[in-house]
Structures are given as C-alpha cells and as structure tokens.
Chains A and B, each alone.
Chain A
C-alpha cells in the first residue's frame, strides 16, 4: 500500500516535522501512517538497516506524542517501558529540541507546540509573500518561527513532505499552534474572518483540548475528527438503563436502538413480503413459514455488538480517551465523570461538545414505566412481543408498527392527532393507508390513560384504557405488549448546564445554538439531537460534528448545511423526502407560487406479484418564481431510501423541473417513472392520476389547497387520456379502460 512508500520517505525526516505535518492534516491518511510509524518506533534498530528509530520524540508536545504512539503504550510496556511515557510537566518543556538532533534548525522551526511557524523560501519569487505574512504577524504582536527551506539541509525533502501532506504545493506555508492555515492568501483571509486570532488564542492550560459528552454518532465523529487534527480529546459516554433495565454500549441511539436495528428488522419484514411474492415468481415451497423473533434479534444484536466494538477500536486507534462515565459540569471548563460504581473523576478542557441526544418519553400515566416498553427495549426484547399496541404516530411508532406487522404480529397504532407530524401530511396519510392495507389497525384520536397488568409472562397480558381526545368515550383493549413511541426528550437535565450558564429551552429541553453550533457559553458547543430546531438524523449529526471539529481545530470555516436534508421513514412502504413539505412550502413561498407535480406509479416488480397499483406515489414541489426550482421531493414506494439520496444531491445542485424533464430515465426502475411522469407539457402522462383525482377532488381540495393549481390544469385538459409513458405505467387493459 502506498502509505508505506511514503512513510519510507518521511522516515528520512526529523520526527517532529513528520508529526507536525501529520497533525495538521485532517484526513484519514494520518491514521495509517501513524500506525506504521508506531511499529517503526517500536522496532529497536541497530546499524544502517531497517527503519530508523525516531530520533527525537521528546521534542514533541505530549499531545502529539500520545497521538502518534497511542495504543502501543500498553502493548509495548514490557519492551520499551520508559521511552514514550512522559508526564505533562515534561511536555510543557516541549518546543525545545535536543541539540544533538540532526538538522536542528528544521526541528526547532517546526517542533513548537505553540506559536506561529512559517515555511518559506529565501529566494525569489516568493520572498515578498513571506515578508507580507511576517508583517501581518508582527502587526498582531506575534513572533514567528521561520524556516527558509532553501537555507537548510534537507529543505527540499521537508518541502516535499509538507506539500504532500498538507496538499499545499506552494510556499509560504503557515502554521498557527500546529494548525495548517495555508499560504499567504489563506492567512490573510483567516485574519479577515477572525479565524487567525481565534487560533492564536488557544489555551493549553487544560487536561484536554476537547471533551465530548455523549458517544453517539455526532459526538464520536466530532471527537475522532478533532483527534485526527492533533488534539487531545476525551469522550464521556454512559447509558442510563431504561426503566425496563435495557442498556447498551458505545455508539449512541443510531447504532444500538435506532437506525441500525430498525433497518434490519425492516429488512426482516420485507423478506417476509418477498417470501409471499416469490411464489408468484415461481419459487415453490409449501410449508407454512413461521418467524422466529429470537433468531432475528440474536443476529441483529450480534451485529450491533460488532459495531459498538469497532467504535471503541476506532477511538483507541485515534488516541481518543474513552471513559464510560456520566459527565456533568461542576464549574467552568470542568466536568465530573461518574462511573457505574459511583467513582468520580474531574476533568478539564478548553472546549466542550454536548452530544447527549435523546431518550424516549413516557406518558406519565399509571402503569407506563412498569409495563410498557419503548424503542430502547424493543430491539433487544428477548421474547416475541405478540399482539402489540403502539402508542404514538411519530416515525418511530410507524416504523416499529410496520415491521412488527410485517413479521406477522397483530399491531394496533393509537394516534392522538396526526400521523408523522412535521412531514408532508398528504404523504403521511398515504403512509398510514399503505400500513392499513398491510393489516395494521389505527385507533385515531385516542390517548391511553391507564395500563394494567392482567398476566405476567413473556410476553404477559396488559389491559390498556384509552380515552377519546374529542369526547368522553373510553375504550379498553388487551395486548401482549404496549410500545410507547410518543416522542423523545433531550438528555440535558442532569448535565449541570445551569452551573456554567448554558441556555436550555424550557419548553423542549433542547439547546439553542448559533449557526456554528455554539451555545450561549462560547466554549461549549452542541451537536445532534439535543439541538433545537435542527433535523434529528444520524448523518446530520455526523456531518455537524465533523465540521465543528474542523472549524475548532482545523482552521476551516465550512458550516453544516441544514437545508435540503433528505430523510426516509422505513415503513413497510418506504417514504423518502427532501426539502419542503407542501404545507411548509405554502407557508414560505405562498401556495399560488408553487407548482406541484405528482403521479401514482406501479413498480414493475409489483405487477407479477399482483400488488396494488395505486399505492406508490411521488410528488415534487416547485417554486414558480425561481425557474420552477424543485424545493420539495416526496416519494412513497419500495427502496425510497435509495432513490431519495440522489434526488437530494440533485436538489443540492439546483435541480429545476426543466432539468428533471430533460433527464433520461433508467428502464425499468421506478425512479424513472417518478420523473417522466410529472411533465406539465404532457398532461396526459398524469392521466391515471387525474382521473383518480377527479373522483377525489373535493377531498383533495379541502386537504390541499395548493394542489388546485396544477390539478385544474390537468383536469380541464380535453386530451385527458390513459397513460402513455411506456410499459410499467400502462397496466392491465382493464385499468386503462376503467381507471379507478
């Protein structure tokens, strides 16, 4: 592999240069190179052969040192116990280089843990650039170490190494506190944006550069990125067991009780559907197929275990300190970490990131904590839940109800008001209808008031009393399991945030931040689900965490873009969306400025399987005032997740209706249909839709006033005829003759 070649070249350089360069570049490259260096460091060398032992690790700051030799510390203890273990006090002396080290000039210039380092050329043509940068720093009252590469031995190879790793080919190359700022222009830009001043002000007086509270997707990505950028980072993660006693390892909600197990159970349910379909496709099996909950959960839990383990491994390899303790602020810059056994420790850091996420909410009615389960428990439930009542209409509720029904269980969903609040309501109702078709019962406008245990057991029997939200009516039902999915509460209550003055929204318990994820206390940041008003999605948290670390420690300025974030609800028929819902778009742009194009479609695979031909649906919302730009994309159908991703990318690139029409589809996939079928110039493509709408028009009108604009156009069209867009839409002749 190539890094080894590169390593070979690097080995000829003073250690400090290498480490510095590695620490300045935020990419995964560092990881592998440092690993191979670690091995090199542990190989005692004699004579000329083999990789040389690093010459002056002592010249490095403790952070860099620990980072370069992370996990070998323990393993190498028997072999070279003292060589690398150094105390903080010794580290403070870093920056001074052993006098006997070769090419001391290079080392001196670049081994400082703090201050400004500039690599440049003494000769023309870049001298004036170097002078300009020097002037800038002297105007800021900062001294800088200057390394004139053409004036020292090995200068050429230093330049080569630096350019290779920082991917800046030119000089001068400016480093502030070991952070690579860039060339002359970049430095001035950084000065203008205030970044330079920020970098210069960083304070080393704490145990850590960064402590992340919460080891979920967002926290881990932020911690790892910061470590890659050369910072000393700690992650505090502690899972408070659910009322039913369920707890899990590192990785947060997504890995343990969220996306991953959910998607796998969804897949299990889809396989059930596939089994039914496969008979029609000629696969012959006669026996009654049963599903084993235990087999499924075991397989899923073992996968989760491996993920959790790989997270720990990744932290260790990146030299992030992981402590399985509950962190809470006790004073400014200081947290108390309490572990399982109640042992406490105090840590300080320059910066903090809160990424504690959320946990399921309970109803606060008699019997809920004692007898009900939540999504925290469901995925590792050791027994089949049996007949289940799902309380709530969040995406968690519908997803769980969907896969439970798909696994053959009787499922009832109790909904207080609307389905999938915050999502496009037309789509939400269609999701509900598709689940109803699958046999999920819905109890609308009821809330539970009491849960009683009738029978113990695995599962037991529970009686649920519910009352109507509109009248005085009460109903009772008997279920094996009651799953609460009424929402989630942020874990911000017991963090000691009030002690340091971090603002928390009283209503939601969430943390308001500015567009740089900064809270009301400047050195405290937050990412992930605890943020107020931001999408609660793993990839968003991962992206936000990574970009935050780069801004804090990498000299970058890119902010997380929360616009046009795609998301998918993994109900049995998946629902993917990106951008605005129709309601929201109407609020923002006014309904009369919108064009809504839509179509029903019938996936080719469903034809032979004999599944329903008017369930899958897609629509796009366009802004008339902006060149018919697509501002909302919604699709309900199989593989909506895979489909929506690309459309989201296209929306990022400024997708318009015209471009959508000009793009050629892939045949026969149904993402093709969603686009060719929404064409205003060819209203007849929408015929199936429009004839369907004709029957439902009153309903459509009351539900969706914005729809009336495009619909009127279609329906008044005298050329209203069956669809022509090719095969899959064509359907059976009887559908064509008499559309529903």
Chain B
C-alpha cells in the first residue's frame, strides 16, 4: 500500500476532504474525551482527516460488538473493514470470519449433514423415505443467502447506531492515525483517541508445498463454492469440514501430520476421529503432503509421504482443502509505525489483561490478540467489555477462563475447563479424579446407530468437595448440553453438587448428572439400563 501523505494545507483541501470535514462536526456531548483528543482533532481538522473517539479496525464479531457497544454509550465510532480476496478470489461482506466463512456457514452445513443422518434414521421410525441424493448447489445457495442477509443486517445495525463504516484497507500512519485505502485506491485519513485492532486471521497456505497455492482451497472458499467440491482431501486438522462433507455424501480424506485437535483433551480427540473413521471419512495419520499437480480434466493429484515409513503415496481428488491453521492479519497494518508489538513467531499482537497493546490507547481483541481463544463469543464479550471500560461504565476485565467450546464434528464434542492432561499437569495425577461414562442416546436405539463413541468425562479435584475442573461431552447436541454446565463450573460447581442435580429423563444431558464411575476404580464405565 502506498504511504499516506499528510495533506498539506487548508488551501490544498480536496473536495472529498472538505466533504468529510462537513460530515465531521465537533460532536457535542461526547463526555470523557481527553484534552488531547480535542486538541488533536482541532489541529487535524484543516488537514481533512476525520476524527473519532474510537476507531475499530476489522468488522468481525469482536470489532462490531465493540463498535456498537461504544456507540451505544455515546461515543463517536468508526469501523474500518476490508476483505482481501482469497487466492481463489473469494470475497465477502461485513461481519468477519464467523458470519462469512466460519461458525455460521459451518454450523448450517453441519446441520445439513445431520439431516442426512436423520433421513437415514427416518425409515426405522416409520417414515417411508429412501436415501436421498444431496444437492450442493441448493445448500450453498441457502447458506449464502443467509450469510448475505447477515452482512446486510450488520450494515443496518451500524447505520442505526450511527457508527461510520468504511470499506477500506487500513494501515497505521502514527499512533493515533490510520490511513484507509479503498478498492478504487482512494485514501482516507482517520484519527481517533482509541484504536481497537480486531482484524482476526486468515487460513494459512503451506507455501512450501508445490501447487498448494495454485490448486488448493481453504475454508475461506469452501462455503462459497457454487459446485460440490466432490472427492475432497483435507490437509491436517479439519475435522469439522471433513465431517460435514462426509455427511453430505462426499468421498472425503483427512490427512493429519501429528495429532488431531491438538489443543483439546486427547482421549476425546481420538474418540472423535474414531467416530469419523467409522462413518466413512478416510483418515491418514502421520502423513505429510509433498505436492499437488493438476491432471488434465480438472482433477488434482496429491503426493504425500508417510512420516513413519517414509513411503510415498499419491491419490486423485477433485478438491484439496488446506486447514493447517490461521495467520493473524497484522502484516499490512504497519504496526511498527504505531509502535505496537507483536509476537515474532505467531505474528499476533501482544496484549495485557485490559486488552491494551504496547501502546496504551491501542487495543487488540479477538483472534489477532496473542494467547486468546479463537472463539466468536469471547471476542464479542471482550469487545463489549472493552467498550464499556473505555466509556467508564465498568472496570470489569474479561475472564478468559472456563470458556466453553464445541467442535461440530458429526458427533459433536463440547468441552469446558481443563482437559485431563492439563488437569494432571497442573494438580498432579494423585489429586485428580476423572469420572466418565459411555452412554447410549435413547434416539440411537431404534435405528440401532452405533453409540460406541458417545462418552462423557468430568475432571475433578480428588479432595472433597471435588471441585470440577473440566467437563467433556461427546454426543448429539453437545453444544447445548455443555453450555449450562459451563455456567455451573463458573459458579464453582463441585462434583457432589452436580451429582445432587436431578436428571431430565430421557435426555443425553442427564448422563452428566449420573456420572458415578471414576477412572481410578477401573470399573466398566458403560451405562446400562434406563
């Protein structure tokens, strides 16, 4: 991006800058604005820059939540958002990863896959329906329409709340000023008392692999494909995508270099993969791709090496999807101009408990911040709390502990708190008690679905009253199940308290309130009876 030059003199004021000036009168009734900011704005005014109380860079979940909250509390706010097209040319609207290429389309496609399973169940329950083919185009159309409506919804909300929205690519000029460049190359100078960076991340490409960039796609593209991806090979951990593609009836292969779901409880992770392998997803573990070539007639040929035996192998696929992690979007921000420090390894922005970066009035929230869980609701809550703190409404800090999360694999995996490994590492094996159960959801009985991976595990301290450290649930509707228990854990639930909770019969969640067998006892944890 070209460097932003400070417009020189009032006399040289461009027409556009003049219009901006008219649009940007000194806003009355903005409490809490520091003397600096008034001075700065007055100084800056003739130069044609626009000034705000708060400037948010990045219109994803966290950024929008922060902007809307601040506007609600009477601040003058602007949001800058720009989607760099993916290498395959996919682009989308306002709302960030979650809305456009993350949670929302993923969950909807996951639902489509689940519906496929239900169609298979239906004949057992008396419905006269044969297995149906699936139309990717119909689904993609429906999902994309919904996403577009959400994009529009976000625009409307910003407008309603008088948050100024710029579809420009931002980079820092100095600690209080950002230059935005639009698609057409027009530049805008924006300055603000506080700046929040919420640019999130984008999928990583394995640039060292030949053909990866040219022929592979990422999750940025998958949900916007108009045509079915066909036979798909997914690199590394991409279990959610693999699960839903398999569920839609596609031939899907996942290649995993080391362990699946690295950050999660490994027993649960292996049950997840076991379930997927049992339901048609081909899983190649300990393999690393070497190159991707295009065959005549659209198909792709992938060569990989088995890391244990060093043997090479190859296969032909329609689509190769990379899901090997995400890189934070910090490169084009010119952070060094503002003096914002990043972690040289991850590229993420270093933040403190107040979400402040190395520059006190510049903040970072969401996926771009170092050491934060990459989850939409965390970003939203962090954004809101930040806005409230900036407006003096609260001094509450964001609590990043006990954040519940769910992996929407075909058999959903929900968890909150510590994994068994982490609990043992923190408290020592002799102080940790793990209660667990293999259960069978009632709905699985009639269609005789395999329930051998439906599993619950509660990690507790061993000393009474046995504080609950973590809860892991693998089964249908895991997200809905884990949410309430996350609240309980937040309230400092003990194992004994949870066991005193009466179950709701017959649900899967009641099994959590019935966990009696500890791993230490060595007894069979299979739940029998009703």
> CB within 8 Å of B: which residues of A?
1-3, 27-29, 32, 217, 251, 254-255, 259-260, 263-264, 267-268, 271-272, 274-275, 277-278, 280-285, 287, 289-296, 299-300, 303, 307, 310-311, 314, 407, 537-540, 543, 561, 564-568, 576, 604-605, 607-608, 639, 641-650, 652-656, 659-660, 662-672, 675-676, 681-682, 684, 719, 721-722, 724-728, 730-733, 736-737
Q: Which residues of B contact A251 (CB under 8 A)?
A: 530
Instruction: Report B-chain residues with C-beta under 8 Å of the C-beta of A299.
Output: 124-126, 446
Which one of B97-105, B164-172, B213-221 is at the interface?
B97-105
Known contacts A274-B119, A296-B125; decide if A666 and B414 are in contact (CB<8 Å): yes
Contact B119 A283 (CB under 8 A): yes
Give A538 to B513 CA distance when docked, in angstroms: 14
Task: Give the distance in Å from the alpha carbon of A259 to the alpha carbon of B507 in the complex.
Answer: 10
A sample of 20 cross-chain residue pairs with beta-carbon separation below 8 angstroms, ordered by A number, consists of A1-B522, A2-B522, A28-B523, A32-B523, A263-B442, A264-B446, A268-B125, A278-B116, A278-B119, A287-B130, A292-B128, A299-B125, A311-B529, A538-B505, A645-B503, A645-B504, A645-B512, A648-B484, A649-B493, A737-B156
A251 to B, closest residue via Cβ: B530
* Cβ A3 vs Cβ B522 within 8 A: yes
Residues of A within 8 A of B226 (CB): none
A272 B127 Cβ-Cβ under 8 A: yes
- With A293-B126, A568-B507, A641-B509 as contacts: A284 and B443 at CB distance below 8 Å: no
Q: Does B479 contact A666, Cβ atoms closer than 8 Å?
A: yes
Question: Known contacts being A254-B530, A281-B112, is A567 close to B504, with CB within 8 Å?
Answer: yes
Q: With A303-B445, A664-B403, A726-B61 in contact, is A271–B505 under 8 Å at CB?
A: no
- Taking a contact as CB atoms under 8 Å apart, the answer to whether A605 and B126 are in contact is no
Residues A282 and B112 in contact, CB atoms below 8 Å apart? yes
Q: Which of B125, B378, B491, B492 contacts A271 (CB 8 A)?
A: B125
B21 within 8 A of A: no
A659 and B491 in contact (CB under 8 A), knowing A639-B480, A666-B414?
A: yes
User: Any chain A CB within 8 A of the CB of B345?
Assistant: no
Whether B493 contacts A653 by the Cβ 8 Å rule is yes
Q: How far is the CB of A65 from chain B (nearest CB, A)?
A: 24
Give Cα A258–Cα B354 distance, bound, in whole angstroms.
53
User: With a CB–CB cut-off of 8 A, which chain A residues contact B479?
Assistant: 666, 669, 671
Instruction: Pick the most buried of A293, A567, A639, A675: most chain B CB atoms within 10 A of its CB.
Output: A639
Chain B binding surface SS class: helix
Docked-complex contact A649 and B135, CB < 8 angstroms? no
Q: Say how far B245's CB is from chain A's closest CB, in angstroms.
A: 13
Please state if A271 and B504 are interface contacts (CB–CB under 8 Å).
no
Highest count of chain B CB atoms <10 Å: which of A264, A291, A537, A643: A643
Q: A653 — which chain B residues lie within 8 A by C-beta? A: 488, 491-494, 497-498
When each residue 129-148 of chain B gets 1 if its CB lies under 8 Å from chain A and 0 otherwise, what string results?
11011111111101100100
Which 5 pairs show the lowest CB-CB distances between chains A and B?
A646-B484, A2-B522, A282-B139, A645-B509, A296-B126
Please measure, in the bound complex, the distance between the C-alpha atom of A28 and the C-alpha atom of B524, giving whole angstroms: 10
Interface residues of B in 364-388 (CB under 8 A from A): 375-378, 380-381, 384, 388
Residues on the A chain within 8 Å of B64, using CB: 724
CB neighbours of A28 from chain B (8 A):
516-517, 523
Q: How far is the CA of A652 from the CA of B507 in the complex (A)?
A: 19
Query: Which B-chain residue is minimally distant from A641 (CB atoms)?
Result: B507
Using Cβ atoms and an 8 Å threshold, which residues of chain A touch B443? Answer: 263-264, 267
In this complex, how many residues of chain B approach chain A with their Cβ under 8 Å: the count is: 111
Q: When the two chains form their complex, are residues B112 and A650 in contact, meaning their CB atoms are under 8 A apart?
A: no
Q: In the complex, which residues of chain B have a beta carbon less than 8 angstroms from the beta carbon of A604?
A: 104, 107-108, 111
Contact (Cβ within 8 A) B138 A282:
yes
| Cα–Cα, bound, A682→B387 (Å) | 12
> Nearest-CB distance from B33 to chain A (Å)?
20
Distance between Cα atoms of A260 and B154 in the complex (Å): 44
Q: Nearest chain B CB to A314's CB is how many angstroms away?
A: 6
Q: Is B121 an interface residue when CB atoms closer than 8 A count as contact?
A: yes
Given A646-B482, A652-B500, verify A259-B505 contact (CB < 8 Å).
yes
A34 to B152, CA, bound (A): 67
CA distance A492 to B133 in the complex (A): 56
Instruction: Kindly state the separation between the CA atoms of A722 and B154 in the bound complex, as whole angstroms.
Output: 10
Q: How far is the CB of B382 from chain A (nearest CB, A)?
A: 9
CB distance from B162 to the nearest CB of A (A): 10
Q: Which of chain B's residues have a CB closer than 8 A to the CB of A662?
A: 399, 490
Instruction: Tell me how far the C-beta of B458 lies from the nearest C-beta in chain A, rounded to whole angstroms.
Output: 11
B421 to chain A, nearest CB (A): 22
Given contacts A260-B506, A274-B115, A299-B124, A289 and B129 within 8 Å (CB-CB):
yes
- Whether A282 lies near B504 (C-beta < 8 A) is no
Residue of A nearest to B494 (CB): A653
Please, how many angstroms separate the alpha-carbon atoms of A222 and B493 in the complex? 27
Per-residue contact bits, chain B 404-431, to A (CB 8 Å; 1 contact, 0 not): 1110000000100000000000000000
Contact of B488 among A254, A280, A568, A652 (CB under 8 A): A652
**Known contacts A667-B103, A733-B156; A281 and B115 CB within 8 A of each other:** yes
**Nearest-CB residue, chain B, relative to A271:** B122
* A282 cross-chain contacts in B, Cβ below 8 A: 112, 134-140, 142, 248
Choose among A255, A314, A682, A722 the residue that contacts B157 (Cβ–Cβ < 8 A). A722
Question: Given the complex, which residues of B lie within 8 Å of A537, measured CB to CB?
Answer: 502, 505
Chain A residues lying within 8 Å of B108, measured Cβ to Cβ, are: 281, 604-605, 607-608
